[in-house]
Structure 1
Amino acid sequence: MTGVLRLDSRRARTLISEELFDLLTTRLAQDRNIDLDLATRIMDQTLAFLAAAGHPGERLSPSPAVDAGWHLFLRWTKDYAAFCERVAGRFIHHVPDDTPAETSNAATARGVLRTLEAIEAAGYLVDHELWALDGKCGSCHEDGNCSSSGEDGNENTETRKR
C-alpha cells in the first residue's frame, strides 16, 4: 500500500516513540478505567487504523475501542499532526457520523470490514477482539460511529462512511 509508512511490519506501536506510546496507553487506561494491557492493545490498533486510513482514497471506520484511542491521540494535537504528516503525508481528519443509528448499522459493519482488510494489506496485525461489533451504532466513539476523512479531506459531505 503506497503512501503508508511501515516501520514494523507487524505492530503499529512502532510508528510513534516509546515515550509517546507509553503516555497515551497510560492515559487511556486511566480515562477509560481499563487495565494497561488492554490500553496497549487499543493504542496499537489505533495506530494501525490510522496508518491504513492514511492511504489515499480510503474511508475507514474504527471499532468503538479503537475510536476511543483515536479520540485520545487527537488531544495531543502536535504529536497527532506530526504522526499524520509522517505516515500519510497529510492530516487524517476525524469524521463523526450523525446518521441515525437505525440506518447506519450495515454501513458501520461494511466500514469495519474494509478497515480490517486495509490494516492487513498495510502489513499490520489485527487484534480481532477489539474490532468485534455488537450491533450498536451511535453518535461517535461511545458507539463506534466515526470514520476517517478519506483522500479529499472533506469531512462534511463526500467522505461519510458508507
Structure 2
Amino acid sequence: MTVAPEQTVIAQRQGRDLVSTDEFEMLAAFCADEYKMDRAFADRVMDQALAMIFVMGITRAGDTMAPSQVVDPGWHTAILHTEWYADFCQKNFGYLLHHQPNSKMRTKGLMADVTTRIEAAGFHVDRILWGTAAECNAPACCGDGPCC
C-alpha cells in the first residue's frame, strides 16, 4: 500500500476578516442597497474591495492599482463611510489612502496584476469579480475610465 504524502493546505485570508462582523454588515448592506445588488453578491464585492484596499494601503500602491468595474462599488462604499474609512486606514496603514481616479483602462493585464498582488498578500481572489468589460457600470463609474 502506498501512502500519499500529507499536504498542508494553507487557508487564504478573506477581506472581510480585516473588519469586525458589525463593520462588514454595515458595509455590505450599504453596498447592496446603494448599488442594487443581491446581498450575497454584495458580500463578495465588499470582501474583494477590502482585500484590495488593504493591499493598496500596505504596499503604498494606490496609484498603480485599480478595482475591476464589479469591485468598484465596494471601494466606493468604503470611502463613502468617511469616518470609518479614515479610522481603518490609520489603524492599518498609518495614513489615509486617498481615492485617486485616473484615466487608465481596466485591462485584463491590469486586473491580472492587481489580483496577483492581492494573492501575494495571502488573500483569496474571487476571479469572477475581476473580469473586464467594455461598458461602465453606472452609477459607480466615476471618471476613472474612458467610458465615463
TM-score range, shorter chain: 0.7 to 0.9
Q: CA RMSD in A?
A: 2.6
2:143 and 2:44 mapped to 1: Cα distance?
17
Question: Which residue number corresponds to residue 4 of structure 1?
Answer: none
Question: Which residue number corresponds to residue 33 of structure 2?
Answer: 30
Q: Which amino acid aligns with 2:69?
A: P
Give the TM-score, by structure 1 length. Answer: 0.72
Distance apart, 1:138 and its partner CA? 9.0
Question: Which residue number corresponds to residue 109 of structure 1?
Answer: 108
Distance apart, 1:141 and its partner CA? 3.8
Which of 1 and 2 has higher RCO (CA within 8 Å, sep 6+)?
A: 1
Matched, 1:63 2:62: no
Choose 1 or 2 for highest CA Rg. 2
Question: Which residue number corresponds to residue 89 of structure 1?
Answer: 94
Percent identity over the alignment is 33
Structure 2 runs not aligned, ≥5 long: 1-10
Distance apart, 1:86 and its partner CA? 2.1
Q: 1:34 to 1:119 in 2, by over 3 A?
A: same
8 Å contact from structure 1 (residues 12, 47) kept in 2: yes
Q: 1:83 to 1:10 in 2, by over 3 A?
A: same
Q: Which amino acid aligns with 1:117?
A: T
Q: 1:37 to 1:139 in 2, by over 3 A?
A: closer
Question: Number of residues paired by the alignment?
Answer: 133
Structure 1 runs not aligned, ≥5 long: 1-7, 147-162
Q: 1:38 to 1:137 in 2, by over 3 A?
A: closer
8 Å contact from structure 1 (residues 64, 145) kept in 2: no
Task: Decide which of 8, 11, 14 is 2:14's aligned counterpart.
Answer: 11
